[in-house]
Amino acid sequence: MKTVLRILLVEDDKYFLLHLKDILKPFGLIEAASSWPEAETLLKSESYDLIVTDLNLPDGPDGLRVLEFAKNKKVMRLALTSSEDETLISKAYLNGAQHVLVKSKAKDHLPAFIKSLMAQRNESEIERLISLRFPTQNKTLIANIRKLIVSPWQGRSLLITGPTGTGKSVIGKFLAEQITSQNAPFIHLNCSEIPDNLLESELFGHEKGAFTGADQKKIGKLKAADGGVLFLDEVGTMSPAMQQKLLKAIEEKTFYPVGSTEAEKSSFTLITATCEDLHLKIREGIFREDLYFRISGLTLHLSPLSERREDIDAFVRLFQQQSPRRFILSSEAMKKLINHSWNGNLRELKQTIMSLADSGGGLVDEQHVESALGLKEKSHSTGLINEEIKKFIETNGLRQYFQLIEKEVTKDALKKHDGKITSCIKELKISSSAFYRILQEHQITQ
């Protein structure tokens, strides 16, 4: 997308004009006018990409004339106002405004709306950006990512779901870049990697001496994300107590560092991600429903790689490009990669490609891939089927054998985890719907 814009600001308040210039500086070259006549002269003689105008100029609502003129010249158009007059706002849209924003909220929201307008004007460029960072071929996923890019959702919350290793962090960072200015902070925290007794300090910070080992003051992730994006990965692993504190902080945008009696403020856009079934956790009383509703204002789901095999070729090429060493994959090698189960999804695929890059051969064939994946040749037995199993299948059929395995493995898992369904699902690596189907079909009681 074009990142250097020619921008015309039409604003008669010289102090607010300086404020706007500071906000829009990352977007390109800025010229200013303080009235409709000045703006008209510039619009007639110069070419602009974007017009940002106050609706109420010195001679009345002359911002309407700026919008109408800019619309006829096919320039992107944003209007600012402090007025609550619905008639004026309606006229602004009728005269060509694409968005009308509240002036007092300009710092927090103007960049996101400008990026939205740029994205809408550059649909083909959006697909190119997606292909460079996350080259999925899945049309539904592309459409959902594109929708998030062109929608000015800064200030709302986004929840990204999907199995581990599907690229939730990559997508989260990519989307954050599209809704914030170039220098805005992006703060990432994997909640599953921090013990619960330390997570509060990581999120909210702490004062010197707040607890044993707190030798100096610490700035928390919430404060560090002020003006940018806070990305909380594996949010489903938080304890209920931490969930309550996080909910209060993101609703009020204020929080107390550990050991402090003074509240701190932070304005950020929240993106969360999880590989867990939060609906199931809510039913089990492990995850707060009110927090779920707060973090899932917008949602994006990433399916496992096994359900979008059309993506494997593109991601193999991407990971090849990321390696400093060039190597060639034979068609048989690529076929082996495409047909692999990829339980670890993109993370496993990337590790495999990097392993192939580090191996000695520059021409990679099927045997090299099998070696990298730790597979045995097809002619070798897996050791998972013995003579007793073979006889059972010959007598009763493969389907009945599968049903027997489902039943026994599920019962063992329930016993091992004291009936905790989330733990069973995680160990068996199946969906919650598949787990409940097994319980119902085999009449297994917890």
Task: Give residue-wise pLDDT tens across range 327-384.
Answer: 999 999 999 999 999 989 999 999 999 999 988 678 999 999 998 888 644 444 555 6
Per residue in 88-130, pLDDT tens? 999 999 999 999 999 988 888 898 888 888 877 777 778 888 8
Q: Dump pLDDT digits (tens) for 193-226.
A: 888 788 999 999 999 988 888 889 999 999 999 9
The per-residue pLDDT for range 23-48, each reduced to its tens digit, is 998 888 899 999 999 999 999 988 89
Contact 217, 231 (CB under 8 A): no
Instruction: Give the H/E segment covering residue 186.
Output: strand 186-190
pLDDT score at 439: 84
HSE toward the beta carbon, residue 330, CA cutoff 13 A: 13
Cα Rg of the chain, angstroms? 28
Residue type, 324: P
How confident is residue 1, by pLDDT bands cut at 50, 70 and 90? Answer: very low
Name every residue whose Cβ is closer than 8 Å to that of residue 164 and which is 6 or more positions away in sequence: 275, 344, 345, 347
Q: What distance in Å separates the CA atoms of residue 119 and residue 6, rounded to the nearest whole number?
A: 16
Q: Would the pLDDT of 440 be above 90?
A: no
Residue 377, class by beta-carbon neighbours within 10 Å (0-12 exposed, 13-18 middle, 19+ buried)?
exposed
**Mean pLDDT for all residues in the chain:** 88
Please tell me the number of Cα atoms within 13 Å of 229 on its side-chain side.
27
Fold annotation for 5-108: Rossmann fold (3.40.50)
Average pLDDT over residues 397-412: 86
Residue 177 scores a pLDDT above 90: no
At residue 446, the pLDDT reads 64
Asked, colleague to colleague, whether 5-108 and 152-301 share their fold, the answer is yes
Could you say which DSSP state residue 57 is in?
Answer: B
- Residue ranges per structural domain of the chain: 5-108, 152-301, 308-373, 387-441
C-alpha 106/C-alpha 152 separation (Å) is 13
Could you give the 3-state DSSP secondary structure of residue 428?
Answer: helix
74-84: average pLDDT: 90
For residue 189, which phi and psi values (nearest 5 degrees)? -140, 125
Which is more confident, 1 or 81? 81
Please report the pLDDT score of residue 376 as a whole number. 43
DSSP 259: T
Compute the distance between CA of residue 165 and CA of residue 348 in angstroms, rounded to an integer: 7
Helix (H) or strand (E) run with residue 301 in it? strand 298-301
Instruction: Tell me the fold of 308-373.
Output: Helicase, Ruva Protein; domain 3 (1.10.8)
Question: CA–CA separation, 85 vs 82, rounded Å?
Answer: 9
Judged by phi (left if over 0) then psi (alpha if -120 to 50, else beta), residue 30 lies in beta
Domain 152-301 has CATH 3.30.750.24: no
Name the DSSP class of 258. Answer: B
